[in-house]
Amino acid sequence: MAEATQTTQRPNARVDVSRALTQIMRHGRTLEWIRGNRSQWLATALHQELLFGTLRHYSSLQALVGSHLKKPLKPRDLDIMHVMLVGAYQLNHTQIAEHAAINECVTASKALGKAWAKGLINAVLRSIQRQSLSESAQVSDPRGEHPDWMADLLTNQYGDAATQLMAANNQRAPMTLRINPCVISTADYKAQLKAAAINFTEGPWPEALTLEQPQPAADLPGWHGGACAVQDLGAQCASQIMMQLLTDHATGDGALRLLDACAAPGGKLFHLKERLTVAGIAHRLYALDNKANRLEDLARIGRRLGHRTEEYHDQHSENTNHQDDGQEDSVTLSCADAGESPLPFNEAFDAILIDAPCTGSGTIRRNPDIRLLLSPQALLQQPPQQQRLLQNLWQHVKPGGTLVYSTCSVFAEENDQVIQSFLVKNKDAHVVPLHLSLGHPTRHGLQLLPTNTLTDGFFYCALSKAPSTVSVS
């Protein structure tokens, strides 16, 4: 149950949440789109609680409200349905005062230009209110919040464990921090959290701390000075894996050349840079993303963390032998499609990280809209794109180098099956066993799940490229 939240804020949060839900369900907008284009709909903690909570329980709330309607609403009145879903969520899943929840929902109808619905909203919500919690909320089957095709696919892949996975998808995700060792030691930062009365648990490596209660990021100690970043523990595994794989390479001459091929928003990129810097490993980091605005956000995040970025200016047309002279203390950025050759960087890389675009099915706790918007057809569209990225980037890995493939998906179609297809086509690629305290091994990699690692659902696979051989006559 959520803590009681002030309900007298203006503008009426139920209006904003209804509009956000309608954008999602009618127009296929995502939470990411809302964050970028209608951030006022997420303006307060109450907005966020109502929107994310209603999305998590959308199917069961829809069934509940529908059972109290004498006849279905017209499609044009989807916003009114959403006001009632929000109201039902408040009554059955929060500690917001029932009378306030109902009154604010009734008032919302006028703000939406549909004052005629006041009586309907009041009648439906008071009918739900009169029921006992056990009758109205019901202890819902976690499968019931998932579309049938998704529930069947998860059951086929995970067996009995699928029920626990789907139940985890209905929960709030924890808030995990990554301490920036280039700014502050973990010991000093833990002391600052304790002084601020912010409780936490320690993670499997020193810079990972999970907060017992989420906090506004900007209010965290040292946030504006780059002392920490918010990053799921599963996402932090990327740098752990990269550092394990780079240990042998680091004994060679010169700086390691490393590429984050799908870099935005930059969490994995900057975590790796911090680890390399602290370890004293000479390196040059390069980053690609196919959207300029995302790279701008990445650079802004880097500045807060104390990391310098610089744009890459292609000079290949003037000098085909040009080698980038990016500085070791900066990250070189370029806006380009990593699935297309040639890459803007005239480099062969010691290691490449592909945080591949995917369905995001492992992040449903954070993005409950995925469960409502994702379709089997959309899932099938992902593997060809992922194969394209793998195939193009593989040719830019040095002989003896490494490529790490990652998704935030729990579907084998985007994970092991993609790797298997790639291995069939590329005989110089070999799977490298991964050794982490988190996750369970799959055929080719490592799968993390919210049920047993308290992380988002991540998949990792490491591939080594066979060293080149020279025949001697």
User: Helix, strand or coil for residue 330?
Assistant: strand
Residue 341 is predicted with a pLDDT of: 86
Instruction: Determine the average pLDDT of the residues in 311-334.
Output: 61
Of the candidates 31, 49, 63, 54, the residue with the CA atom closest to the CA atom of residue 141: 63
Do 41 and 96 form a contact (C-beta atoms < 8 A)?
Answer: no
Return the percentage of the chain with pLDDT > 90, whole number.
84
For residue 391, pLDDT beyond 60:
yes
For residue 169, pLDDT beyond 50:
yes
For residue 288, pLDDT beyond 50:
yes
Residue 94 is predicted with a pLDDT of: 92
pLDDT band at 315 (very low <50, low <70, confident <90, very high): very low
Q: What is the CATH number of domain 234-465?
A: 3.40.50.150
Catalytic site includes residue 408: yes
pLDDT by residue (tens digit) across 7-45?
Answer: 444 568 999 999 999 999 999 999 999 999 999 999 999
pLDDT by residue (tens digit) across 236-249?
Answer: 999 999 999 987 65
pLDDT band at 314 (very low <50, low <70, confident <90, very high): low
Do 218 and 224 form a contact (C-beta atoms < 8 A)?
Answer: yes
Q: What is the homologous superfamily of the domain 13-139 according to CATH?
A: NusB-like (1.10.940.10)
Residue 385 is predicted with a pLDDT of: 97
For residue 470, pLDDT beyond 90:
no
pLDDT by residue (tens digit) across 250-260?
Answer: 555 678 999 99
Instruction: Determine the average pLDDT of the residues in 450-462.
Output: 91
Least confident segment among 102-111, 211-220, 309-318, 418-427: 309-318
For residue 291, pLDDT beyond 50:
yes
Residue 248 is predicted with a pLDDT of: 60
pLDDT band at 322 (very low <50, low <70, confident <90, very high): very low
Residue 297 identity (one-letter amino acid): D
Q: How far is CA 53 from CA 47, 307, 383, 417, 426, in A?
A: 10, 36, 31, 33, 45
For residue 2, pLDDT beyond 50:
no
pLDDT band at 377 (very low <50, low <70, confident <90, very high): very high
Residue 347 structure tokens:
């480099």
Residue 308 identity (one-letter amino acid): R
Instruction: Determine the average pLDDT of the residues in 293-317.
Output: 85
The DSSP bridge partners found for residue 308 are 330
Check residues 52 and 319 and name the one with the higher pLDDT. Answer: 52
Question: What value does the mean pLDDT of the chain take?
Answer: 90
CA gap 172, 163 in Å, rounded: 17
Return the percentage of the chain with pLDDT > 70, whole number.
90
For residue 174, pLDDT beyond 70:
yes
Residue 317 is predicted with a pLDDT of: 40
Q: Where are the domains of the chain?
A: 13-139, 175-230, 234-465
Residue 330 is predicted with a pLDDT of: 86
pLDDT by residue (tens digit) across 184-235?
Answer: 999 999 999 999 999 999 999 999 999 999 999 999 999 999 999 999 999 9
Do 345 and 312 form a contact (C-beta atoms < 8 A)?
Answer: yes
For residue 321, pLDDT beyond 90:
no
HEC string of 402-461 equals EEEEEECCCCHHHCHHHHHHHHHHCCCEEEECCCCCCCEECCCCEEECCCCCCCCCEEEE
Do 143 and 170 form a contact (C-beta atoms < 8 A)?
Answer: no
pLDDT band at 473 (very low <50, low <70, confident <90, very high): very low
CA gap 30, 25 in Å, rounded: 9
Q: Which of 228, 335, 358, 408 is catalytic?
A: 408
Residue 279 structure tokens:
């370890």
* pTM of the predicted structure, to 2 decimals: 0.90
pLDDT by residue (tens digit) across 127-162?
Answer: 999 885 545 545 567 788 999 999 999 999 999 999
Q: Any idea of the CA torsion for 454, 458, 459, 463, to the nearest 10 degrees?
A: -100
Interaxial angle between packed helices 118-130 and 98-111, expressed in degrees from 0 to 180 and rounded to the nearest 10: 160
For residue 123, pLDDT beyond 90:
yes
For residue 429, pLDDT beyond 50:
yes
Q: What is the CATH number of domain 175-230?
A: 3.30.70.1170
Residue 453 is predicted with a pLDDT of: 74
pLDDT by residue (tens digit) across 45-92?
Answer: 999 999 999 999 999 999 999 999 999 999 999 999 999 999 999 999
Least confident segment among 123-137, 146-160, 274-288, 369-383: 123-137
